[in-house]
Structure 1
Amino acid sequence: MSQHSQFSLLSKRRFLPYFLTQAMGAFNDNLYKNALLLMIAFGGISQQENSALLTNLAAGIFILPFFLFSPVAGQIADKMEKSLLIRRVKLLEVVIMSLAAISVLAGSVWSLMALLFLMGLQSAIFGPVKFALLPQHLSSKELVAGNALVEMGTFIAILTGTICAGILFDLSDYRYWIAIAVVLFAVFGLITSRFIPEAPANDPDLRINWNPFTELKNTLRQAREKRAVFLSIVAISWFWFIGASYLTQFPGFSKEYLGGSTQLVTLLLTLFSLGVAAGSLVCDKLSGHKVELGIVPIGSIGMSIFGIDLWFALDQLNISQTMTITEFISQPAHWRLMLDITLVSAFGGMFVVPLQALIQQRSDDKNRAQIIAANNVLNALFMVASAVTGIICLAILEMSIGDYFLLLALMNLIVAGYVYSQVPEFALRFMIWILSHSMYRVRHKNLSHIPEHGPAVLVCNHISYVDALLIAGACQRPIRFVMDKSIAELPGLKTFFRLARTIPICPPRTDPEMYQQAFERIKEELDAGELVCIFPEGKLTRDGNINPFKKGIERIIQQNPVPVIPMALDGLWGSFFSHKDGHALTTRPRRFWSRVTLTAGPSVPAAEVNAENLQQQVTDLIHS
């Protein structure tokens, strides 16, 4: 993946049919839903006084199945072979859309409402399986790219489905065209689903609990078992809260600030959707084709910065009541507003894609679809909450929509701060990402030798005070670093190392108790299946050469006979954080944007571990 565009996945059978299937589903959902809303409002299938009630009822009817059936759908997705389940779900869509076509032609509003509920049910069943399938067909290096393409495809499908509904509604005999379209795209989705490769069941022996209420409780309980996963679900749901708030208010925003043109509502929807798509695609590039949580804070910060700037941009608008899209775009005074809306959503895409990949990567294989079902339930809950919040702020408190958008940007900072305080890994990875993309250009070699699961000890040469940060940034798994107490307690870095759960150590003659506690902590972390990294030299190099490895590594492996992975850092000698030409951190900063290489060697079995041999292997890696 590092040598190919993420779009190369679209040429793979293990991804393209799946991508087309989910995009067709999102397109058809929005085509049908928005066509129904237009028919209610302007098509004469309801009385004028009931149109507002039916419009809001339609929104609730579509989202209700996500609350009721997502937990059961998650169990089904874990129990069944996934490609077969997707084909059956798409066949159900063809049946529902065929009935919908008849109801559209008949103009039966309550039949259309009932079928909208069934479409919500079909989407609720499809939701868990479509995301649980990705980790089975994509490698860990492709997971972010796959999620980015799915996010891009989903928002473009939502946009085009919405626009297509409006285009068809403006045609003469629009009911025939809508009826044909919803069936046709359902059939296209069924055809593409037949090319999705098999994806074995996660837990074929699972006994399904068909009670949606008790299973909803069980699903949320499972999601809370891994705090990082659960708070990622909360953060994703917050993204949908923000997204739903913007999309819902765009018509009112156009009326209040842009002269009420429906063309400009379409422009806002287009900018927002394309922004999410672009941000999702950029995310894979910034993350280096891996699940990089350091991108998440960048996304949240960008959403708030440009959300706040959107409020200031409103003062520059120069609007007339009859303004067209072309006239609006042609005025430079409006470019700032358009850029803000695009960047709010683009940073939203950067925010949500790594979180989705994290859930897929860190969920247990046996209940991954059920965890994704919990995500879908909370997403739906937060979207309902966004509607309630909008009613309170705009109708009850009589806040302007511009002020409401400002409130969303400020609320985003609070929610993001809470999530990052509860899961320090986000802030930690953010700091690492900034360091490794500002002062250094870090190249990785053979990091596949680091196991994706289970305990292991990493050993590396020690050149600078930022060695641990660069290693942590290169590895997708959290690492517990054993480092000298004097480094772990450096001003400015002490809090950072504490958040990273480093294990401070010192010579036994200096503090025997801390020395012993360090080995106890190492044993605890390895027993828990974590990665532990040590610098066996015990101190930073003073001349750029490797110091002799101490025997502590042998004691660690005697207590926990786990694999040892030798690693080597090269290119840090002479940096501001090394001891070249004086004590580190005291010389003039230099060598910004330096090339640094981190190389991993083959795993060494526990029985073959000794300090001298590991030192030689690390030395060989430096010169390889």
Structure 2
Amino acid sequence: MAQHNQFKLLCRRRFLPLFLSLTTAAFNDNIFKNALLVMLAFRLSEGQANALINLATGFYILPYFLFSITAGQLADKYDKSVIIRILKLAEIFIVILGAYALIYNSRTLDFLVLFLLAAHTAIFSPVQYAILPQHLQRQELMGGNGLAQMGSFAGVLIGTIAGSLLAGYTKPGQPGLFDIGWIMVIVAIFGYLTSRWIPTAPSSAPKLHIGWNPLSQAWRILRLTIKTPSVFYAIIACSWFWLVSSAYLAQIPSFTRNILGAREPVITLILCCLSIGVAVGSLMCESLSRGRITFGIVPVGALGITLAGLGLGWSAAQFETLSGASVAEYLRSDGAYAILIYTALLGIFGGIFIVPLYTIIQDRTEKTVRAQVLSLNNVLNAFFIVAISLLNIVFLDVLKITIPQLFILIALLNIAVITFLFCKLPEFIVHLIIWFSSRLLVRTTHGNLNQIPKKGAALLACSPDGKLAPLLLMDTFSRPIRFVLPRSIYEAPVLHFIFKNYGTNPIIHDITEGEEKVSGDIQNALGNGDLVCLFPSTGTNKDHTQDNRVSINRVLSGITTPLFPIFLQGLNTHRNNKSKKRQKLLSKVHITAGAAITPEDTKTFHQ
């Protein structure tokens, strides 16, 4: 239960080589792609540029449909570290060909290299996400994914800057294109060398039969994934995120040129704000969730994306178009900083939204099919990106709406789709309420919880009781808890919704219920290896509390499982109707555990 510092992973061999490998891959992918797109956008006529940019987008998306599913199967069948080394070696030869294509202005080779880099990313992505749970502890997954996203977007950011600036200030045959070439090759070689230090990640399904038909295999994995609703809807939410982000990203060149009236460097400035925002948001996930694998912060990210999108669209609609403005000229104009701030916020909330989703997919998927499920996520991401590309054509070219109006429309659609997903999977809302209770209603800290077993049966006795106590424990313990609750607490409106969708059914008791049944339910839960928590002093009035105390103590008389006392210091409770205390907003509650005791000693909680 100790707090973890995600940055310590950067000093561990089980994470750092992988981090450098994925960062260098993202860099090379984006330096080439952005150099090519900038040269197309600013060296050709508008009609030619739009046609070739759309063609380039198609070339970049196609490999995700063709190779992702097979890549997932290979990653489950073979050692993932070996696959990564092979991919990083292939990257060297791809970027050498890319350097030649840029220097000699070969459009055919440009598009071939773009296809190969996309294929490289499509194969690498499920491997990199599937290897993390093998090398990281469960409580490190949220922080590790945050760092991985940060590394990817750092590579995207630096590659975008280098590719856009070098391509923007050069023409074919000038030294700047040679600079892009040798930078890509050096980075690829460095990435390969670091990949050789990645620890082994043995096969999770060595007997897996590889199916080479991507359609039939994708359908098979989809049917398998639907059986776990939390994973399925996490994948849909991921894909929706990439749809929204692509809707904004795809318009940035045209937005900069036609709405802002600025030159190429301003494109880089806006992309920097977005990429830095995603990196910051990704790193925030560890502290916001305290390392727990939870949906709780996903709704926060979703709401933030909508508000930032609305702000960006409104600010852009009010912006007075410039004429070929430089970065300095743009920054001196009214509304310039608002657009940059909303763009950064869009990235920050995007990072908060996406990192928990990837972590939950990794954590809740069987290890024998984990890479295949992650590859399905890639395919659906690509499908959603294609869908928004077609919708953009309809919105901008057929319906003739402006880019700022498109930004506002996407933000509103985000609220509608996310609301639908939250209704289909109430766990989103349950985790949000739990997160809200432990962060805003009170501020919880914890210590001395390492003695609580991470696996196997354990019994907790918590004091004091109260309606807020179970929510604070849910947010503190990474293990699911089966609570022993009086019916009056269980049937409280909000709490009933939470317990119904929490994932583990509580053990309900009341005065009229037989003690043998409650005792049997507790023993069955412990026999199944569950973590069970009871409140020796639950209730809302003195007489009712006393009756429940006697009942709880008696039903535990035959249980030999060690019992750990849990204390919520600072939590107000209602001892009787005459002296009620309100829990102060943002008051501090410290959660600690005592040494194991016998069930008969629960009387110490009543003193």
TM over 0.5, shorter chain: yes
| Further displaced range: 179-188 or 354-363 | 179-188
Give structure 1 stretches of 5+ with no counterpart: 605-609
The question of 1:582 aligning with 2:582 is answered: no
**Mapped contact 2:314–2:404 kept (Cα < 8 A):** no
> What is the identity, as a one-letter code, of the residue corresponding to 1:30?
N
Distance 1:73 1:89 in 2: 11
Distance 1:14 1:202 in 2: 18
Partner of 1:607: none
1:272-315 Cα offsets, whole Å, 9 max, x none, are: 11111111112211111222321111111111122223333345
* Residues 516 and 209 of structure 1: CA distance in aligned 2, closer, same or farther (over 3 Å): farther
| Further displaced range: 228-237 or 251-260 | 251-260
Alignment of 1:423-438 (within 5 A): 423-438=425-440
Distance 1:583 1:228 in 2: 44
The total of aligned residue pairs comes to 599
Aligned with residue 53 of structure 2, among 39, 52, 55: 55
Distance 1:221 1:477 in 2: 28
Partner of 2:13: 13
**Mapped contact 2:462–2:568 kept (Cα < 8 A):** no
Partner of 2:290: 288
The question of 1:158 aligning with 2:156 is answered: yes
> What is the identity, as a one-letter code, of the residue corresponding to 1:69?
F
Aligned with residue 413 of structure 2, among 394, 401, 411: 411
Aligned with residue 113 of structure 1, among 111, 114, 117: 111
Partner of 1:263: 265
Identical amino acids, percent of aligned pairs: 37
User: Secondary structure of the equivalent of 1:599?
Assistant: strand
1:377-435 Cα offsets, whole Å, 9 max, x none, are: 11111111221121121111111111111111111111221222222222111111111
Partner of 1:232: 234
**Mapped contact 1:463–1:541 kept (Cα < 8 A):** no
Distance 2:439 2:104 in 1: 60
**Mapped contact 1:571–1:594 kept (Cα < 8 A):** no
RMSD of aligned Cα (Å): 3.3
Partner of 1:598: 591
Distance 2:421 2:153 in 1: 25
User: Secondary structure of the equivalent of 1:290?
Assistant: coil
Post-superposition offset of 1:163? 2.1
* Residues 112 and 321 of structure 1: CA distance in aligned 2, closer, same or farther (over 3 Å): closer
The question of 1:612 aligning with 2:600 is answered: yes
> What is the identity, as a one-letter code, of the residue corresponding to 1:420?
F
User: Secondary structure of the equivalent of 1:133?
Assistant: helix
The question of 1:376 aligning with 2:378 is answered: yes
User: Secondary structure of the equivalent of 1:366?
Assistant: coil
> What is the identity, as a one-letter code, of the residue corresponding to 1:551?
R
* Residues 331 and 7 of structure 1: CA distance in aligned 2, closer, same or farther (over 3 Å): farther
> What is the identity, as a one-letter code, of the residue corresponding to 2:438?
S
* Residues 37 and 223 of structure 1: CA distance in aligned 2, closer, same or farther (over 3 Å): same
Partner of 1:356: 358
Distance 2:373 2:121 in 1: 16
> What is the identity, as a one-letter code, of the residue corresponding to 1:213?
L
Alignment of 1:88-487 (within 5 A): 88-169=86-167, 170-171=169-170, 172-314=174-316, 316-331=318-333, 333-450=335-452, 452=454, 458-487=460-489
TM-score (norm 2): 0.89
> What is the identity, as a one-letter code, of the residue corresponding to 1:63?
I
> What is the identity, as a one-letter code, of the residue corresponding to 1:469?
L
Distance 1:115 1:313 in 2: 38
* Residues 311 and 212 of structure 1: CA distance in aligned 2, closer, same or farther (over 3 Å): closer
1:126-162 Cα offsets, whole Å, 9 max, x none, are: 1111111111222222211111111112122112212
Distance 1:603 1:379 in 2: 48
Post-superposition offset of 1:373? 0.9
> What is the identity, as a one-letter code, of the residue corresponding to 1:34?
N
Post-superposition offset of 1:184? 2.2
**Mapped contact 1:567–1:598 kept (Cα < 8 A):** no
> What is the identity, as a one-letter code, of the residue corresponding to 2:555?
G
Aligned with residue 550 of structure 1, among 534, 553, 556: 553
**Mapped contact 1:462–1:535 kept (Cα < 8 A):** yes
* Residues 463 and 535 of structure 1: CA distance in aligned 2, closer, same or farther (over 3 Å): closer
**Mapped contact 2:282–2:351 kept (Cα < 8 A):** yes
Distance 1:49 1:405 in 2: 23
User: Secondary structure of the equivalent of 2:600?
Assistant: helix
Post-superposition offset of 1:521? 7.5
> What is the identity, as a one-letter code, of the residue corresponding to 1:150?
A
Distance 1:7 1:503 in 2: 37
Distance 1:56 1:366 in 2: 38
**Mapped contact 1:461–1:536 kept (Cα < 8 A):** yes
Distance 2:228 2:527 in 1: 18
> What is the identity, as a one-letter code, of the residue corresponding to 1:148?
G
**Mapped contact 2:4–2:140 kept (Cα < 8 A):** no
Partner of 2:29: 29
| Further displaced range: 563-572 or 8-17 | 563-572
**Mapped contact 2:519–2:556 kept (Cα < 8 A):** no
* Residues 530 and 115 of structure 1: CA distance in aligned 2, closer, same or farther (over 3 Å): farther
